[in-house]
Structure formats: structure tokens, C-alpha cells
Amino acid sequence: MSGKSSQLYDIFESPLGTLYLIFSGTQLTGISFKKPMNIGFKKGVAPKNFRKELEEYFQGRGDKFTQKIKFLEGTDFELKVWLCLKNVPCGETRTYKWVAENIGMPTATRAVGQALSKNPIPIVLPCHRIIESDGAIGGYSSGVHIKRRLLDLEYYSRINKK
């Protein structure tokens, strides 16, 4: 997995603050709340369709992302965890245990948490929808306050659709 030196980033202003959308060619490789500091990153323009999907998501009108993604890093285990996140519907939550069971490793809940903390494409791969078995919100690499806001946004947009 290589190609970091040819990555581009675009800026997207969201209700949660500035997001940096990171691409390798036309494939999304990352979403970050911090500006990429690697000197190989250049300012570019994200595909219009993906920007539109993000706008709709933050307006509570969309919850599907069709943008092609590419992983530049990650173990086989981490990739399984990250891809499993696509099975968690918008406005709903699942547990770390649920993820572990769904990837065929039911005792790996702690390892699932570690993998989630490294998710390079949050929001699109919705690690914020994973909570603890007792209902506690759990951690989030960009801060628990961001996780809570994403969950609230999805919950209230889902309620308004009913």
C-alpha cells in the first residue's frame, strides 16, 4: 500500500468544523479534522459528487456515500473492522462486541476498539456508531464531543424523516 506522496487534500466546512478530505487520484484515502502536514500533500479539489453527499449528510438528507475509497495503511484485521462499519445503518449504533462477532473474532473487542481509533475515513466508515455494550458512548479519535454530535445529527435527522 503506497501512494502517500501523490495525495491531494480539499477543505470541507462542516457543522463540526473544517474537514480535510484526502485523495489519491479519485479515491478517498482519508478524512481528518487536522490539516495534513505531510509535505507530499498538495491542495486539490474533491469530486463534486462526494462534496454533495457530505453536504446532504450534514443536512440530514443523505446517509449513503458512493465515493470509492482506498486504504493506504492498515492490517488485515483493521481493514475487516473498518469495512464492517458499512453494515451499521445511519441513526443506529452497534457495539464493539457486535463488530468483533461480525468479523468472526468474538473475543477481540479491545482490538476492535484499537482498530476503530485508527480508522482513516471517519464519517464515511462510521466508527462513531460503535458504542460500548453497556450503552456508554466509548472513545473517538477526534474527541467524544465530535462522536456525540455525529450521533445526535444522525438520530435527529432520522426522527425527522419518520
Q: Which residues are catalytic?
A: 127
Contacts of 31 (CB under 8 A, 6+ apart): 19, 20, 21, 22, 120, 121, 122, 123, 124
Element (H, E) at 102: helix 96-102
